[in-house]
Structure 1
Amino acid sequence: MLTGHPPESELLTLLRVGRIQAPERLEATNILIAGGRIAALGRDLDVPTGWPVRVVEAPDLIAVPAFIDQHVHVTGGGGEGGGGSRCPEITAQEIAAMGIGTVVGVLGTDGISRSPADLLAKVRDLRAEGIAAYMYTGSYRVPPPTLTGDLQRDLAWIPEVIGLGEIAISDHRSSQPRQDELERLVSEVRVGAMLAGKRGICHFHVGDGPRGLEPLRRLLTDTEIPAEQVIPTHVNRHRALLEEAADYALTFNACVDVTAFDDADEDDLSGFGAVAWLLARGVPVERITLSSDCNGSLPEFDAQGGYLGMRVARNATLIADWQRLVHEQVLTLDQALGLISGNVARVLGLHEHKGRLAVGFDADVTLLDSALTPQQTYVTGRCVYSQDSPR
């Protein structure tokens, strides 16, 4: 599929594909990449003789914006069962093989043996391997652990930090934060993000407790914080929470993040089922995102909260649920791409350069086959995964 193996000094890449979804279908079938960005889109694009160019001939593949996963335990999650229950780190290969070009790293229950500094180091490792990686500062607990000792300084001084998360609410593993504590955290992040020129979202882990989304409802009702800054995730834990998420999204014109659980108790609570259900309840597709929670733990607890065991979440479920939404005609391909690209880029504040195939945008491109299976992944023009390459 690749024509030759050009030296590192070559500057240009020309992708010749069968179809481009930007996410809407374009007339163009060629993508010219220069300096890590999309330089041109068109048909029969050519490069002057003598210019350094790598040509990728992929007439049977579909080019789409590389996927964005906003909830990844890049350093591994878990730890609820003590020693031996920590999940492993994720690799750049595991990310890119799913067509994912951008991830946001997150700490979960364990903010003790794993720290924001560990997370930042892993994010930078992934960047060195070609993945566009970012992170949330903080973890489940309140007050959250930080890199600099201050939320606003983390946002202002650390380029990779794009928000706070995942703060746990309605969960027996959370710090049971008071309402005023949540309001103070979100306001601190908002001002810090403004100073840094970032979106500064607050990414909230929602457990299966009876309070559900009530703390976030109160936050948006009682303060001036805009809904776009507050993102609840895992809203498909159980039916009552999913119903509340639909009402929350419609009442506040807010976004909700569905998790592609690979241990969903029933199909209606899978990533596929939850997205289909929210759409049927009238939630606009633009207000829904889909993430993996991969390399986090899937713990089991008894009725008293005692630890029973765990499995490790994988990102393959994210892609399988997304494919199913298209294959079963719940969404068209261009609509479905928003769930794991354009919508996510907007939520994270990356929409001016990611989540779309357009001139001037980062050359983050995933090539899919007719079954929507990723075959190649490019991040800022660099091929970080190819199905044909030895692994």
Structure 2
Amino acid sequence: MMPAGSQQERLLTLLRVGSIFAPEPLEATDILIADGRIAALGRDIDIPAGWPLQVVEARHLIAVPAFIDQHVHVTGGGGEGGCGTRCPEITAYEIASMGIGTVVGVLGTDSISRSPADLLAKVRGLKAEGMSAYMYTGAYRVPPPTLTGDLQRDLAWIPEIIGLGEIAISDHRSSQPRQDEIERIVSDTRIGAMLAGKRGICHFHLGDGKRGLEPLRRLLSETEIPADQVIPTHVNRHTALLEEAADYALAFNASVDVTAFEDAGDGLSSFDAVSRLLERGVLSERITMSSDCNGSLPEFDTQGAYLGMKVARNTTLIADWQRIVREGVLPLELALGLISTSVARVLGLHDKKGRLAIGFDADVALLNSELQPQQTFVAGNCIFDVSSG
């Protein structure tokens, strides 16, 4: 791993690998990187003598687009059981070691002791360490907390903010927003994002409440808001909710996000959830996976009283994704959409991330035959190398 600002990061970098999935398989086995972007793809690329070139020999590894995790509590989540239950921040090493090159930071239940300002500072800190990092403005509650006092201004003036989230619905921890309040914040997010040339998605946390996806179904049925503006997450919280999510995705041609729960409990693992959605006829490009990393996994009794919690990790995300490929649920080129290509499209980053193509950000994960990340490059810089661990 090389420090940002070093002399090495200004060199041309040539990755020589065994195979490339971009996500589709390519005949190329070389990736030339210049100025943080992919400059060329080919075989046995010849670089003139004397050029400032760093060669990475990785003929035994598979190159894929670095993964994108759209739901990470980078400042830590939790707090439902008091200040002693706040989750820790995540480190750049923890992120990159899973082949993840881009994260989107979220707040959660606690937007009192943590704030959008804290989140922005952490996102910028991760960027300084070489990660690609973004954030949502807002938190569980409505009206959502913001940096500028206005959703539209947050989206328009702060580059790192790419949407609103995670807004909690159908959950006893939510602020129980009315339908008109949901419509207003989604509309404000859309307009602010348009002014900034962003997608401006609204990332909705789904609890296990009886209303399920009804607020979002009404939003898309009763307004002019397009389906790609809204992303429900945690839809595998329980079986009935996942079935409803399948109906929702099919009815509106919408995307849904499943969470890689470390302990699914009454819910479904992300492996089982993806498998079931595909069986229901949901297209793979309409399904994404995220980790909820460093968020809390609280337990409550039937009256809503706090019982205890665990801290989510991102290891389950990669393990479940690997299982999807190994067990033939999806071939590698389609499975990459779940944590890279389709995520980039959902977030509005598809013009620079989620593919290995000329002109795209040089965000590359090198995987071994077991699909385990061995090196992670972001903007051409190696920010994780298992051999230096």
Q: Tell me the TM-score range normalised by the shorter chain.
A: over 0.9
The aligned residue for residue 258 of structure 2 is: 258
The aligned residue for residue 311 of structure 2 is: 312
Indicate the RMSD between aligned Cα atoms, in angstroms.
1.1
Pair 1:322-2:321 in alignment? yes
Shift of 1:65: 0.1
In 1: Cα distance, 2:291 partner to 2:9 partner: 36
Cα distance per residue 1:186-215 (max 9 Å; x no partner): 000010010000000000000000000000
The aligned residue for residue 290 of structure 2 is: 291
The aligned residue for residue 51 of structure 1 is: 51
Contact 2:10 2:35 in 1 (8 A): no
Residue 79 of structure 1 aligns to a residue whose secondary structure is: coil
Counterpart of 1:207 in structure 2: which amino acid? Answer: G
The aligned residue for residue 123 of structure 1 is: 123
Residue 163 of structure 1 aligns to a residue whose secondary structure is: strand
The aligned residue for residue 164 of structure 2 is: 164
Counterpart of 2:299 in structure 1: which amino acid? Answer: E
Shift of 1:7: 4.4
The aligned residue for residue 272 of structure 2 is: 273
Runs of 4+ in 1 over 2 A off after TM superposition: 6-10
Residue 388 of structure 2 aligns to a residue whose secondary structure is: coil
Contact 1:293 1:315 in 2 (8 A): yes
Residue 187 of structure 1 aligns to a residue whose secondary structure is: helix
Shift of 1:10: 4.4
Shift of 1:46: 1.8
Residue 317 of structure 2 aligns to a residue whose secondary structure is: helix
Contact 2:9 2:381 in 1 (8 A): no
Contact 1:70 1:344 in 2 (8 A): yes
The aligned residue for residue 200 of structure 2 is: 200
The aligned residue for residue 144 of structure 1 is: 144
In 2: Cα distance, 1:11 partner to 1:346 partner: 30
In 2: Cα distance, 1:227 partner to 1:378 partner: 33
Report sequence identity in percent.
79
Cα distance per residue 1:233-270 (max 9 Å; x no partner): 0000001000000000000000000000011126x710
The aligned residue for residue 344 of structure 1 is: 343
Counterpart of 2:101 in structure 1: which amino acid? Answer: G
In 2: Cα distance, 1:124 partner to 1:186 partner: 25
Q: TM-score, normalised by structure 2?
A: 0.98
The aligned residue for residue 101 of structure 1 is: 101
Contact 2:9 2:380 in 1 (8 A): no
Contact 2:13 2:54 in 1 (8 A): yes
In 1: Cα distance, 2:57 partner to 2:205 partner: 43
- Give the total of aligned pairs: 385
Shift of 1:281: 0.4
The aligned residue for residue 92 of structure 1 is: 92
- Map 1:221-232 to 2 at 5 A: 221-232=221-232
The aligned residue for residue 364 of structure 1 is: 363
Counterpart of 1:336 in structure 2: which amino acid? Answer: A
Contact 2:255 2:286 in 1 (8 A): yes
Runs of 5+ consecutive residues of structure 1 not aligned to the other structure: none
The aligned residue for residue 243 of structure 1 is: 243
In 2: Cα distance, 1:29 partner to 1:66 partner: 16
In 2: Cα distance, 1:7 partner to 1:136 partner: 33
Shift of 1:83: 1.8
Residue 246 of structure 1 aligns to a residue whose secondary structure is: helix
Shift of 1:361: 0.2
Counterpart of 1:368 in structure 2: which amino acid? Answer: L
The aligned residue for residue 331 of structure 2 is: 332
Shift of 1:282: 0.2
Shift of 1:11: 1.8
In 2: Cα distance, 1:198 partner to 1:60 partner: 38
In 2: Cα distance, 1:22 partner to 1:345 partner: 13
Contact 2:77 2:110 in 1 (8 A): yes
Counterpart of 2:204 in structure 1: which amino acid? Answer: F
In 2: Cα distance, 1:300 partner to 1:318 partner: 21
Runs of 5+ consecutive residues of structure 2 not aligned to the other structure: none
In 1: Cα distance, 2:50 partner to 2:228 partner: 48
Contact 1:10 1:54 in 2 (8 A): no
In 2: Cα distance, 1:368 partner to 1:316 partner: 15
Contact 1:10 1:53 in 2 (8 A): no
Residue 182 of structure 1 aligns to a residue whose secondary structure is: helix
In 1: Cα distance, 2:336 partner to 2:108 partner: 27
